[in-house]
Homo-oligomer: A and B are copies of this chain.
């Protein structure tokens, strides 16, 4: 008597084969300890023989929990992916942590307005247990909306606007301060900066920190705007050289922009670090392969992802969490300064 069905076996079939009720089979599958040893074994055997895999949809329907978490990456056409290290790093950290908790990662790249709306429906619809946001642009209302709708949310980077969504950030100020301090100690007098986009908190904070630290030293600061990409770094550097031909140091708010700046400096015949010292921010993979290897502020990207996930998991477990977690940054001195 073969009861091997070609389609997916159900709990009912497992129960029948093990000679128990569906309820008991369910208990065993879900690891309840109140089931007698021999019965538990019988059920496990039946599960193995039938190749039973629980139907997640059915389980979700009754438990109201999906076992998955969304990571939303608000993506402007060429930004998120040009932060080449940031994105994979965060994804990886999140993924590791979720895996340990046996949850699935649902990735949502939100570029268009349509995608934005879809993500909203999807997440408010209870299709995921919680939502993670990476690098928010501007004062995106979504995190706050979700939080208000009762969906657990954690953001990467302090959300702009007056929302009270919990977040994970790095010590931007400390990192920038270390970088500028380092340049001052090296005897640099005219320090310029290439700032990041001012609709992102990382761009904002790094510029604010730069200004604050330099103001403290009594030196004037020349600023050019970029958007974290290489191209913008190149352009901004050109601008800077025009504004202050005598500058002897540049702090770029991202490694990629520093990379672009390096190129402009080379084209302009400036030697690095002899004529101009350059410091970046991120310590992405390319930093040590630039010419010269780049001095930069390291941020623990993968740990950001891990922390993001960990905080969300705590939220899901019903714990209260602190509104913000600040991760340390560290100055990595190489040859460009």
Please report A residues at the B interface, Cβ cutoff 8 Å: 8, 53-58, 60-61, 66, 68, 80-82, 84-85, 87-89, 91-92, 95-96, 99, 102, 104-109, 115, 118, 121-122, 124-127, 230, 259-260, 263, 266, 285-286, 289, 291
- Whether B84 pairs with A259 at a CB distance below 8 angstroms is no
- Whether A84 pairs with B285 at a CB distance below 8 angstroms is yes
Q: Which of B60, B99, B106 touches A68 (beta carbons < 8 Å)?
A: B106
Question: Which residues of chain B are within 8 angstroms of A8 by Cβ–Cβ distance?
Answer: 125-126
Chain B: CB-nearest residue to A65: B57
Closest beta carbon of chain B to A139's beta carbon, Å: 23
4 A-B pairs besides A57-B57, A99-B109, A104-B127 with CB distance below 8 A are A54-B125, A56-B125, A95-B107, A106-B107
Q: Which of B89, B105, B107, B289 touches A81 (beta carbons < 8 Å)?
A: B89
Chain B: CB-nearest residue to A68: B106
- Whether B82 pairs with A95 at a CB distance below 8 angstroms is no
Question: Which residues of chain B are within 8 angstroms of A80 by Cβ–Cβ distance?
Answer: 88
User: Known interface pairs A126-B8, A126-B53. Does A289 touch B259 (Cβ–Cβ under 8 Å)?
Assistant: yes
Question: Which residues of chain B are within 8 angstroms of A95 by Cβ–Cβ distance?
Answer: 107, 109
A23 to B125, CA, bound (A): 20
Chain B: CB-nearest residue to A62: B57
- Whether A285 pairs with B115 at a CB distance below 8 angstroms is no
Question: Which residues of chain B are within 8 angstroms of A92 by Cβ–Cβ distance?
Answer: 81, 109
Chain B: CB-nearest residue to A263: B289
A319 to B287, CA, bound (A): 47
6 contacts between A and B (CB under 8 A): A53-B125, A61-B61, A84-B85, A106-B107, A259-B289, A291-B291
Chain B: CB-nearest residue to A87: B88
Closest beta carbon of chain B to A96's beta carbon, Å: 8
Q: Which of B102, B108, B118, B266 touches A105 (beta carbons < 8 Å)?
A: B108
Pick from A57, A81, A263, A289 the residue with the most CB of B within 10 Å: A57
User: Known interface pairs A8-B126, A125-B54. Does A107 touch B109 (Cβ–Cβ under 8 Å)?
Assistant: no
User: Known interface pairs A8-B126, A60-B57, A121-B53. Does A107 touch B84 (Cβ–Cβ under 8 Å)?
Assistant: no
- Whether B55 pairs with A125 at a CB distance below 8 angstroms is yes
A89 to B81, CA, bound (A): 8
Question: Which residues of chain B are within 8 angstroms of A118 by Cβ–Cβ distance?
Answer: 99, 102
Chain B: CB-nearest residue to A67: B127
Chain B: CB-nearest residue to A59: B57
A88 to B127, CA, bound (A): 24
Chain B: CB-nearest residue to A66: B57
Closest beta carbon of chain B to A136's beta carbon, Å: 18
Chain B: CB-nearest residue to A107: B107
User: Known interface pairs A82-B285, A230-B289, A289-B230. Does A91 touch B107 (Cβ–Cβ under 8 Å)?
Assistant: yes
Closest beta carbon of chain B to A313's beta carbon, Å: 17
Question: Which residues of chain B are within 8 angstroms of A108 by Cβ–Cβ distance?
Answer: 104-105
A85 to B256, CA, bound (A): 14
Question: Which residues of chain B are within 8 angstroms of A54 by Cβ–Cβ distance?
Answer: 125
Chain B: CB-nearest residue to A123: B53
Question: Which residues of chain B are within 8 angstroms of A122 by Cβ–Cβ distance?
Answer: 104
